[in-house]
């Protein structure tokens, strides 16, 4: 059996574009494909919705799942609101926004989407006794009024210029179905107006959906879509990465080794109880096997060259280390031209490098940082210069070797 290989960007465009609606994807609403271009598609995600009911989850992982099942009144992918379930909107007075809705939209069970759907969705959010994750986004909204079946007003206590943009984050829900089945059942079998219908959900594992052939924006180009967040795979890759070896061989002493968080020990919010995963190839293989990837898999990776310190060498180290557990990296190298270095920046680097020599004063050090700021130099570049040992030469002339091997724990650097 042959498996079609699709470029990653095209796959994501097909899947996410479906959820974005016809306005963003550029589809004709009347177009009806005979069959999906991809029968089954699995997309990896960092996290999944904690609840399928969009009223209670506003994290990014939830958005990835919700956008396939539900629609919003507007979208804001290009930085400004564009029509989705709302065809147009206008301010009828300083405190009221009026939305005119599409008349040809139905929820997955056939229930008509209308102004009552918008009011129901917003009333759930505004309920003073509710615990909606979105309530904080509407501190000035007082009420929602149904003008007619396809027109709704959202009224605030004071002028609210940002309200239309905020509506790009609110997923519309079916009033009749929700009132019929209740909140618990709705979370188990959700109904939306999106390009995919709910099929199955296992918290923290996967969310599976089927293409909606009757979607108002045109049928989805994917027959079945699964968003998967398998923690065992992420743990496996963590165990397959010799972070300490990469640190010793490539970036010490110019950087500290991360401790499972973006903060350092000198930063507010640092948690000293979080410990890095140990480098353990056997453990990594075991976790991949448990996740159904005992034979490994291939993943595409975009990496750059010339933007960050030794990024090319770090990528090569990952490629070699992950290959030991069966994970193949298909690397797309993006080259960045060497940036123009202003005179103030060059002076700052030289001063910082020279500060390690006897006789340098704190005043010289501060002057280097001042000139770096004036020249637009990142602090990391100055810090690298500060660690430069006398006799090694300027930072910019340091040769970065190709990484073929990262020394084991017993070694203390590259020869």
CA angle 219/114/154 to nearest 5° reads 120
124, 132 in Cβ contact below 8 A?
Answer: yes
Q: Give the mean model confidence (pLDDT) for residues 120-130.
A: 95
Q: Which pLDDT does position 336 carry in this prediction? A: 60
Outline where 231-334 has alpha helix (H): 231-239, 243-246, 281-290, 311-323
Average confidence score pLDDT of the chain: 78
Domains in the chain, please, with CATH? 1-70+194-229 (3.40.190.10), 79-174 (3.90.76.10), 232-335 (3.10.105.10), 343-397 (no CATH)
Q: Which pLDDT does position 268 carry in this prediction? A: 83
pLDDT at residue 366 tops 50? no
Please report, in angstroms and rounded to a whole number, the separation of the first and last CA atoms in the chain.
48
More confident of the two residues 236 and 251: 236
Regarding beta strands 297-305 and 327-335, do their DSSP bridges make them parallel or antiparallel, or are they unpaired?
parallel
- The SS3 call for residue 323 is helix
pLDDT digits (tens, 9 = 90+) for 310-327: 888 888 999 999 999 999
Distance CA 100, CA 152 (A): 7
% of residues, the chain, pLDDT over 70:
72
pLDDT digits (tens, 9 = 90+) for 82-116: 999 999 999 999 999 999 999 999 999 999 999 99
Q: Which pLDDT does position 372 carry in this prediction? A: 43
Q: Which pLDDT does position 348 carry in this prediction? A: 55
Q: Which pLDDT does position 310 carry in this prediction? A: 84
Q: What are phi and psi of 317, to 5 degrees?
A: -65, -45
Distance CA 212, CA 199 (A): 11
pTM of the model: 0.61
pLDDT digits (tens, 9 = 90+) for 134-186: 999 999 999 999 999 999 999 999 999 999 999 999 999 999 999 999 999 99
Q: Which pLDDT does position 119 carry in this prediction? A: 98
Q: Can you name the residues that pair with 143 across neighbouring β-strands?
A: 155
Distance CA 270, CA 261 (A): 8
pLDDT at residue 375 tops 70? no
Q: Give the mean model confidence (pLDDT) for residues 179-198.
A: 96
pLDDT band at 415 (very low <50, low <70, confident <90, very high): very low
More confident of the two residues 364 and 335: 335
**DSSP-derived secondary structure for 47-60:** ---S-SSGGG--SH
Outline where 82-230 has alpha helix (H): 115-126, 163-166, 175-188
Torsion, CA 373, CA 378, CA 382, CA 385, rounded to 10: -140
- The SS3 call for residue 146 is strand
pLDDT at residue 40 tops 60? yes
Other residues' Cβ atoms within 10 Å of the Cβ of residue 222: 24
pLDDT digits (tens, 9 = 90+) for 382-412: 344 334 443 343 333 333 333 334 444 433 3
**DSSP-derived secondary structure for 26-49:** T--TT---SS-SEEEEEEE-S---
29, 22 in Cβ contact below 8 A?
Answer: yes
């Amino acid at each position: 059996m042959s498996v079609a290989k699709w470029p990653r960007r095209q796959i994501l465009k097909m899947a996410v574009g479906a959820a974005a609606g016809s306005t963003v994807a550029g589809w004709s609403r009347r177009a009806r494909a005979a069959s999906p271009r991809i029968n089954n598609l699995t997309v990896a995600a960092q996290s999944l919705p904690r609840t399928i009911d969009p009223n209670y989850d506003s994290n990014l992982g939830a958005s990835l799942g919700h956008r396939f099942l539900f629609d919003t009144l507007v979208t804001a992918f290009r930085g400004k609101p564009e029509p989705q379930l709302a065809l147009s909107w206008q301010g009828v007075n300083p405190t009221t926004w009026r939305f005119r809705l599409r008349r040809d939209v139905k929820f997955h069970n056939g229930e008509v989407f209308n102004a009552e759907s918008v009011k129901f969705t917003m009333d759930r959010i505004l309920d003073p006794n509710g615990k909606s994750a979105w309530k904080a986004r509407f501190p000035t909204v007082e009420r929602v009024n149904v003008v007619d079946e396809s027109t709704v007003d959202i009224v605030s206590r004071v002028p609210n210029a940002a309200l239309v943009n905020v509506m790009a984050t609110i997923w519309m829900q079916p009033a009749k179905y929700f009132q019929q089945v209740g909140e618990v059942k709705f979370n188990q079998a959700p109904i939306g107006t999106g390009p995919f219908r709910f099929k199955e959900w296992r918290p923290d594992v996967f969310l599976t959906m089927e293409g909606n052939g009757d979607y108002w924006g045109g049928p989805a180009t994917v027959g079945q879509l699964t968003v998967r967040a398998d923690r065992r795979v992420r743990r496996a890759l963590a165990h397959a990465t010799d972070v300490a070896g990469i640190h010793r061989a490539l970036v010490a002493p110019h950087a500290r080794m991360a401790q499972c968080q973006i903060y350092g020990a000198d930063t507010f919010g640092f948690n000293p109880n979080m410990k890095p995963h140990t480098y353990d190839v056997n453990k990594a293989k075991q976790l991949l096997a448990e996740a159904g990837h005992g034979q490994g898999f291939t993943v595409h990776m975009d990496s750059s060259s010339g933007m960050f310190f030794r990024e090319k060498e770090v990528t090569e180290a990952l490629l070699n280390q992950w290959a030991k557990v069966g994970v193949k990296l298909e690397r797309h190298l993006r080259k960045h031209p060497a940036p123009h270095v202003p005179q103030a920046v060059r002076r700052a680097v030289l001063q910082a490098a020279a500060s390690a020599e006897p006789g340098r004063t704190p005043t010289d050090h501060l002057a280097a940082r001042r000139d770096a700021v004036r020249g637009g130099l990142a602090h990391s570049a100055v810090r690298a210069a500060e660690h430069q040992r006398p006799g090694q030469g300027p930072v910019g002339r340091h040769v970065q070797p190709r990484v073929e091997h990262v020394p084991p724990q017993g070694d203390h650097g590259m020869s």
